[in-house]
Amino acid sequence: MMQLPVVADPEADNDWLLYTLDVLAPLTGLAVRFSLVAPGELSGSGPALWYGVVPEDPGDEVILIPRRPEFRPGKMQQVEMACGSEDLDAILIYTDTIDPDAGSEEISFDLFYNVFAYVSCLEEYEQECRLGPLHSYALRTGGNTDRFDRPYATLLARGVAATITRKLTTPPSPVDAQPALHLTHDVDLIAKKGVTRLKEGVFRTANVVRSLFQARFGDAATGLRDAMRMIFGRADYLFIDEMAEMEKQYGFRSAYNLFSGVRPSGSAAARLRHYLFDPPYDPSTHPVLPGILQRRAVEGWEVGVHFAFDVWRDAERMRRELQAVERVLDCRHTVTTCRQHWLRFSLAETWRAHHAAGIEVDTTLGFNDRPGFRAGVVSPFRPYDHAAGRAHPLWVVPTILMDTHLFHYGNLTEQSAREAVIDRLLDEVVHCRGEAAVIWHTHVFSTDHQWQHEYRYILERMMALGMASRLPSGVILKERSDD
Ligand SMILES: [Zn+2]
């Protein structure tokens, strides 16, 4: 592992910079670590990144990066950068970070601060401080939402890697990482209940109305038929084994996030929210669900916890739910991974609570209403604790796609349009040699949904693209083996 110095003013606010350099190094795809040094500590003009300071005698192996850690929400523009592929990538960065005096051959903007702003979800965090948590709706974010279209932080890391490789006489060697997906399933429904008919009926009727407004009358008629079947028809909703068997055909495994069944004891409003929004099942009393999951756990599938709608900042309730899920598994499986139900999530509070409750890997970081890259990263990483000025002591696997993105929110009525979204996202993971999660709910192989074709399409594309399937808990195992 090559140590590459980053020279910066030791008097400046460097908490965020230290964090950024730690996150950035593995994203470069090079066997490199960055160490922060003061200008006086560096002898000679050897290979180094000079950040906001300029050496007296810049040698050929010096890379200059302007220091302009400023941004205005939404004020972004594209710059072209060589990120390792044949073509230049167009990277969306904050306009205020551009140094008008930088030479055209050099990195002309504050690359580190842009990486930090992406990875730490800085714009979202500032918005949350003003208005409260977004609970994972991209529509509620301010600014330029194009920033979620591509993994820009990872691309910036690839850009700095390309510069390092070009400039250094003996550059660090590339790390050959196999791109991978974490196939994950949130167990929201295992039987069709009255509340299911109501909620899904509303979603589908809304899409019928949308189709009518767009004068897509054929789609509206199909949508209406589906909505009626959803509201009035009968259907089986338990497909955990069918999904696992499909994955097995490709040599893949996946992770299930199980609701604990723990009921809230609070107010009538809390009980109503539980009725309306929590998964309507209790695994501990279900006749077959514990057995199915125990068998899968023994065979190497993973079970994580799917925290209740209201449980997104309360570590004590999280711990109770986590232990309830472990009891369902008959203690054959330690639960260390999770996803928030409905992606209910606060940047300031949820990860703190997760860590206090014993969670080591969270896969919540994604959006309810669109696919994409919420933190601009397409790899597991340690998220930033803005209040403490350092990394949270847990891992995040970003989620880039959920089944409902294609069917409900996107209202993509053509199979080819849904496949195109899958293609675009998987190509991005491969392009960055990255790793990210997708969500396919366990009930959507039902006759009400019939979303199995797209799931199989993902598995087939993974095979064709040489992607691995990984499990969230594997991030911890990998960290231990790297140490
Ligand atoms: Zn859920």
Ligand 1 centre and the CA of 366: distance in Å?
13
Ligand 1 centre and the CA of 342: distance in Å?
5
**Across residues 82-94, what is the average pLDDT?**
90
Ligand 1 centre and the CA of 118: distance in Å?
26
Ligand 1 centre and the CA of 147: distance in Å?
25
Beta bridge partners of 36: 6
Ligand 1 centre and the CA of 195: distance in Å?
14
Ligand 1 centre and the CA of 468: distance in Å?
25
Ligand 1 centre and the CA of 301: distance in Å?
19
Higher pLDDT, 403 or 87: 403
- CB 166 within 8 Å of CB 6: no
Ligand 1 centre and the CA of 174: distance in Å?
38
**What's the pLDDT at 408?**
79
Ligand 1 centre and the CA of 244: distance in Å?
19
**What's the pLDDT at 38?**
94
* Helices and strands in the chain, H and E counts: 15, 17
Ligand 1 centre and the CA of 187: distance in Å?
7
Ligand 1 centre and the CA of 275: distance in Å?
14
pTM for this model (two decimals): 0.92
Alpha-carbon distance of 128 to 39, in angstroms, equals 37
Ligand 1 centre and the CA of 373: distance in Å?
19
**Could you give the domains of the chain?**
2-167 (no CATH), 180-192+234-482 (3.20.20.370)
| Residue range 396-439, pLDDT digits in tens | 999 999 999 998 776 677 889 999 999 999 999 999 999 999 99
Ligand 1 centre and the CA of 165: distance in Å?
44
**What's the pLDDT at 104?**
66
- CB 261 within 8 Å of CB 341: no
Residue 245 CB burial class (10 angstroms; 0-12, 13-18, ≥19): exposed
* Least confident interval from 86-90, 92-96, 315-319: 86-90
Alpha-carbon distance of 27 to 112, in angstroms, equals 13
Ligand 1 centre and the CA of 456: distance in Å?
21
Other beta carbons within 10 angstroms of residue 236's beta carbon come to 14
Ligand 1 centre and the CA of 335: distance in Å?
17
**What's the pLDDT at 403?**
95
Ligand 1 centre and the CA of 89: distance in Å?
35
**Across residues 464-469, what is the average pLDDT?**
98
State how far the alpha carbon of 151 is from the alpha carbons of 78, 88, 361, in Å. Answer: 14, 15, 20
Ligand 1 centre and the CA of 390: distance in Å?
29
Ligand 1 centre and the CA of 394: distance in Å?
21
**What's the pLDDT at 186?**
97
Ligand 1 centre and the CA of 337: distance in Å?
14
**Across residues 321-349, what is the average pLDDT?**
92
Alpha-carbon distance of 351 to 393, in angstroms, equals 9
> Which two structure tokens, joined as six digits, stand for 128?
């949350």
Ligand 1 centre and the CA of 135: distance in Å?
13
Element (H, E) at 220: helix 217-232
**What's the pLDDT at 222?**
81
**What's the pLDDT at 59?**
81
Q: Tokens 């189709």 sit at which residue?
A: 211
Share of the chain above pLDDT 90, in %: 72
* Least confident interval from 267-271, 285-289, 428-432: 267-271
Ligand 1 centre and the CA of 15: distance in Å?
35
**What's the pLDDT at 455?**
97
**Across residues 102-126, what is the average pLDDT?**
92
For residue 213, what pLDDT band results from cuts at 50, 70 and 90?
confident
For residue 215, what pLDDT band results from cuts at 50, 70 and 90?
confident
**What's the pLDDT at 351?**
98
**Across residues 328-349, what is the average pLDDT?**
91
For residue 479, what pLDDT band results from cuts at 50, 70 and 90?
confident
**Average pLDDT value over all residues in the chain:** 92
Q: What is the largest CA-CA distance in the chain?
A: 77
For residue 44, what pLDDT band results from cuts at 50, 70 and 90?
low
Ligand 1 centre and the CA of 145: distance in Å?
24
- CB 347 within 8 Å of CB 136: no
